[in-house]
């Protein structure tokens, strides 16, 4: 069953105070084990004020757990000011947002720009998964998966891009290895994630002349709270997933995938746009 976020809408002051972390603040964000008591928490490294993202402002959705949370810490460690949102209100001083609602997404983006005066990088990472065969999917479940994974990214980009038109910027979208090859039971999830690649390619063509790059990150099996939820904590399921990663025979950490996001978001690759980066441990190589 897909978990829905609550309907409480944060006010403007809450978004600025708790949804945005500065250089040191985001790196030192409260590291709680409430999300997954069995998963060791990363230890933040010292902030580098001269890092790759010094002077940059970064927006992240889906940042209260997993890859998004690891990315928030990594961006801040590299000198960025980070504005973030997520739906796990109990994980410390972070703000819950509903990425399917235009006004809330617009407010979140505008608050970051009002606070810091610019927006340089957007990591649109929020998403959810549903594993059911097609005829078993309720219409409401289908809409939930599409709205969370596709509509949410569209809305984020719709309100982020106007702030990047004058200065340029980098947008990174989290999709999935299912964009390349899927498995039984993932029709809703795969259709939404594959649509993200088309969205990114079209946007890259629309805005490349403005210095805006748009790329898609395709994580493979990654040890996150979402992965733990889908496996139900089953040792057998975890081991089966590990064996699917043909080359490395291990499951990636959220921190590893976050570093791939930072690479795409950095100026280390100024000619890369409208494409995807597969970080799946070699799984697709074995197909």
Check which CATH number belongs to the domain holding 100 and give it: 3.40.50.720
Q: What's the CA gap between 70 and 27, in Å, rounded?
A: 10
207 is an active site residue: no
Confidence at 183, pLDDT banded by 50, 70, 90: confident
Average pLDDT over residues 174-196: 89
User: Strands (DSSP E) along 51-158, which ranges?
Assistant: 57-61, 81-85, 121-124
Average pLDDT over residues 205-226: 91
Nearest C-alpha neighbor of 212 from the set 156, 173, 166, 259: 166
pLDDT at 38 over 60: no
Q: Is residue 261 part of a domain?
A: yes
Cβ atoms of 278 and 218 closer than 8 Å = yes
List, in sequence order, every residue forming a beta bridge with 20; answer none if it has no partner.
83
Q: What's the CA gap between 275 and 268, in Å, rounded?
A: 15
Distances (CA, A) of 245 to 110, 222, 261: 40, 10, 20
Q: Is residue 177 part of a domain?
A: yes
Q: What's the CA gap between 100 and 89, in Å, rounded?
A: 17
In eight-state DSSP terms, residue 274 is S
**Number of domains within the chain:** 1
H or E element that contains 174:
strand 169-174
Beta-sheet pairing, 222-223 with 276-279: unpaired
Active-site option among 116, 159, 189, 207:
189
Cβ atoms of 66 and 226 closer than 8 Å = yes
The first and second tokens of residue 180, run together, are 């390349």
Average pLDDT over residues 189-200: 96
The percent of residues in the chain predicted with pLDDT above 70, rounded, is 72
pLDDT at 32 over 50: no
Q: Is residue 56 part of a domain?
A: yes
pLDDT at 274 over 70: yes
Q: Is residue 3 part of a domain?
A: no
Q: Is residue 28 part of a domain?
A: yes
Q: Is residue 164 part of a domain?
A: yes
In eight-state DSSP terms, residue 224 is S
Q: Is residue 5 part of a domain?
A: no
**Predicted TM-score of the model (pTM):** 0.79
Please name the residue that has the structure tokens 């441990």. 281
Q: What's the CA gap between 6 and 23, in Å, rounded?
A: 29
pLDDT at 155 over 90: yes
Q: What's the CA gap between 214 and 258, in Å, rounded?
A: 16
Q: Is residue 152 part of a domain?
A: yes
- Print the domain residue range for 193: 12-286
What pLDDT shows up at residue 86? 65
What pLDDT shows up at residue 138? 97
Q: What's the CA gap between 8 and 98, in Å, rounded?
A: 9
Instruction: Encode pLDDT of 138-151 as tens digits.
Output: 999 999 999 999 99
Cα(first)–Cα(last) distance of the chain, in Å?
Answer: 30
């Amino acid at each position: 069953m897909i978990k829905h976020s609550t309907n409480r809408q944060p006010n403007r002051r809450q978004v600025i105070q708790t949804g945005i972390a500065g250089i040191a603040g985001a790196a030192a964000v409260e590291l709680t084990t409430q999300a997954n008591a069995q998963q060791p928490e990363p230890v933040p490294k010292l902030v580098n004020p001269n890092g790759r993202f010094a002077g940059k402002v970064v927006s992240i959705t889906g940042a209260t757990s997993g890859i998004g949370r690891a990315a928030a810490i990594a961006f801040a460690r590299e000198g960025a000011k980070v504005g973030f949102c997520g739906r796990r209100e109990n994980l410390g001083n972070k703000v819950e947002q509903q990425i399917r609602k235009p006004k809330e997404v617009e407010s979140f983006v505008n608050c970051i720009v009002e606070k810091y005066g610019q927006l340089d990088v957007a990591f649109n990472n929020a998403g959810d998964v549903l594993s059911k065969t097609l005829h078993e999917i309720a219409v409401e479940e289908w809409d939930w998966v599409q709205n969370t994974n596709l509509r949410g990214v569209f809305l984020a980009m719709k309100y982020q891009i106007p702030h990047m038109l004058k200065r340029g910027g980098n947008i990174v979208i989290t999709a999935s290895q299912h964009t390349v090859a899927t498995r039984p039971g993932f029709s809703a999830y795969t259709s939404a994630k594959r649509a993200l690649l088309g969205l990114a390619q079209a946007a890259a063509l629309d805005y490349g002349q403005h210095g805006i790059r748009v790329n898609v990150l395709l994580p493979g099996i990654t040890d996150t709270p979402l992965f733990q939820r889908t496996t139900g904590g089953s040792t057998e399921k975890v081991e089966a997933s590990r064996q699917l990663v043909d080359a490395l025979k291990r499951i990636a950490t959220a921190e590893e995938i976050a570093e791939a996001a930072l690479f795409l978001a950095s100026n280390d690759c100024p000619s890369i746009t409208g494409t995807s980066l597969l970080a799946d441990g070699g799984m697709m190589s074995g197909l």
